[in-house]
A and B are shown apart, each in its own frame.
Chain A
Amino acid sequence: MKGPKFGQYIIGDTAVNRLDPRTKIIACFIIIFSTLIIYKWPVILVNILIIAAAIHLAGIQPKLVLKSIWRLWLLLLLTLIFQSLLTEGKVILSLGSLTVTQEGVTLGISTILRLVILLLTSCLLTSTTSTIQLAAGMEAVFAPLRFLKIPVNQFSMVISIALRFIPDIIQEAETLTKAQKSRGAPLNSPKVLERIKGYFAVLIPLLANSLQRAEDLAMAMESRCYTGGASRSRLSVLCFKRNDYLVLVLLCIMLLFALVVR
C-alpha cells in the first residue's frame, strides 16, 4: 500500500461527485475528442481551464494531481525532445546535425499539455465516480449500440465485475508476495532473471485463485437467477439534474467553439 493515487475513487459529496455518471462520461468524451483532433492553443487552454475548475470543485489536492503528472515525466520529456528536434521550421538552436526549431518547441509543449489533459480527464472521471456508477453510465451511454446487435448489458456487467475485483486482486497479490518472500522468493534480488522467476511464485497462485473466484462468482450469480439482458432493472435509476444540463450545455458550446477555431 503506497497511499492513494489520483484516479483512485475517493468517496465524496462534491458537485463533481454528484453529477450523473452519463454527464461525466460524455463530458470526458468531448474533452478527449476535442483534444485529440484539434491542435489549436485556444482549445487546449479552454480544456485546461475546464479541468482545473473540475479538479477544484472535486476538492482534489493539487499535490496529488502534480504527483500523477510527475509520474509521466519521462514520456513528457521525450515528447518535448523529439517534437523539438524533428519538426521543420525556424531554427533557434543547432547542435551539429541536430536542430531545434521554434515550431518544434511550440508543438512539443502543446503535445505535452494535450497528453496531460488526456491523463487528468480520465483520472478525474475515475476518482469521482464509483465503479457501479461508472458501469451504469457506460451502459446508458453505449445503449444505442444495441441496435448493432452488440450486447451492451453484458459488456457493462463484465466491466463492472472487473473493476469490482481489482482491489481484491491487488490485496491478494500483496499477501502472496509476503507469503512467498517469507519462503525466500528472490523478489529483491539484484538479478533481473531471478526476480522474474520469483514473481512466478506469486503470479501462478494469483491466477489460480482468480479463476476459482470467477467460478464461484458465476455460481453465485446463477444461483440468484441472474440472466443478462436489457430487461434488468437497476437499484438506483440515473437521472439528470440541473447541474448536468448546465455542464452538458457548456461542453457543447466548447465543442462548437473548438470546431469553429479549427
Chain B
Amino acid sequence: MPIIDVEGLTYIYAKGTPYARKALNQVSLSIDQGEFIGVVGANGSGKSTLVQHFNGLLQPTKGRVTVCGRDTSSKEYRNSLWRKVGMVFQFPEQQLFAETVAQDVAYGLKNLGLSQDEINRRVPFALEQVGLDPTEVADLSPLVLSGGMRRRVALATVLAMQPEILVLDEPTAGLDAVGREVILQIIKDLQQERNTTVIMVSHSLRELIPLVDRLVVLNRGKVAACGTPGEVLGCNPLQNLKGIGLPDYLRLICELKERGVQFENPVTTFQDAEQALEKLIKESVR
C-alpha cells in the first residue's frame, strides 16, 4: 500500500474571490514507503503547494490526499501529521529562533513530548548527522553561524524528530557547491539507511537525477510526467520539460538525437552521457 496517495487533487488559493488562482489541477500520484521522489517544475507550477498537502498544512479544495493510510480531510489528523511528516521549508534557516543551536534542535522534540534523556541523546546525534560538531556548535547562537551552517542546523531540527516521511522544499537553494553536496548526501544516506520516504522539491533536474527513484514533473498545476528519470527523460524529453531547464549534458544529448544520432542506452546521469559520447566519438573516428 502506498504511504502517500493523492487522488484528483485540486487546490485553489483565495477561492471565491477575484484573486482566486488554481495552483493544482487534478493531480494524482502515489508514493511508496522508502521511495525517493523528486518534484520538479518551473516557478509557480505548484510544487510547494503539492508538498504542503503531505503534512496537512493545506487541505485539498477537491480530491483526496491519504497519508499513512488515513485521509487528511480530518482536521484532527491534519494537526497531528507533523509527528510523522518532517517538512523542511525553503530557506529554513530563517525559522531558527532559540537562543542556542541545541535548544532550537530540541524544540520539535519537546513538542513531541520526549523525555529529557531522549532529547539529550537525539540533539547531538542530529547535529552530527548534518556534519556539525555538537561540542562546538550546540551552545552557540544560531545567528553567529554562516548561512550554510544555519541551513544544516535547520535540517537537523527536522531530522532529530526522526520523521517517517521527509519533505524538503528546495533544500539547496542559495548554497555553494560544497554546501549542496553535503546536504544532498545527508538526505540520500537517510533514505537508504533508515528507509525514510523522501520527497524533495527542486528546480534543478541535474541534482535530482542521480538521487531519485522517481521524478514528478509539474507544469501549471498538472502532472506533466511521472516515472523513473529514464522514463521521464526518455519519453518526450524536451516538450515536457521546457520550463525547467535541462542540464547542459542532456541538452547536448537532445540536440544530437534531433540530428539523428541514435543512442543504445537511455541517458539520464552525467556518467551515462559521458559513456555514450565517448562511444560515439570512438565510432566516428573509426
Q: Which residues of A contact B (CB under 8 A)?
A: 1-4, 10, 172, 175-176, 178-186, 188, 200-201, 204-205, 208-209
A201 and B57 contact, CB distance less than 8 A: no
B57 and A178 contact, CB distance less than 8 A: yes
7 contacts between A and B (CB under 8 A): A3-B19, A178-B52, A179-B92, A181-B57, A184-B83, A200-B97, A201-B97
Q: A179 contacts which of B17, B79, B95 (Cβ < 8 Å)?
A: B95
- Chain B interface size, as a band, is 20 to 34
- Given A178-B52, A178-B57, A205-B95: 9 more A-B contacts, CB < 8 Å: A4-B18, A175-B90, A179-B89, A181-B82, A183-B157, A184-B82, A201-B107, A205-B96, A209-B94
* Residues of B with C-beta under 8 A to A1: 13-14
A183 and B111 contact, CB distance less than 8 A: yes
Chain A nearest CB, measured from B147 CB (Å): 12
A204–B94 alpha-carbon span in the complex (Å)? 10
Chain A nearest CB, measured from B95 CB (Å): 4
Chain B CB within 10 A, most for which of A3, A4, A185, A186: A3
A184 and B95 contact, CB distance less than 8 A: no
* Residues of B with C-beta under 8 A to A209: 94
Q: Which residues of B contact A (CB under 8 A)?
A: 13-19, 52, 55, 57, 79, 82-83, 85-87, 89-90, 92, 94-97, 107-108, 111-112, 143, 157-158, 161
B89 and A183 contact, CB distance less than 8 A: no
* Residues of A with C-beta under 8 A to B17: 3-4
Chain B nearest CB, measured from A155 CB (Å): 30
Q: Given A184-B112, A205-B94, does the pair A3, B16 have CB atoms closer than 8 Å? A: yes
B89 and A178 contact, CB distance less than 8 A: yes
* Residues of B with C-beta under 8 A to A186: 111
* Residues of B with C-beta under 8 A to A200: 97
Chain B nearest CB, measured from A138 CB (Å): 27
* Residues of A with C-beta under 8 A to B13: 1
A183–B112 alpha-carbon span in the complex (Å)? 9
Chain A nearest CB, measured from B105 CB (Å): 10
A184–B82 alpha-carbon span in the complex (Å)? 6
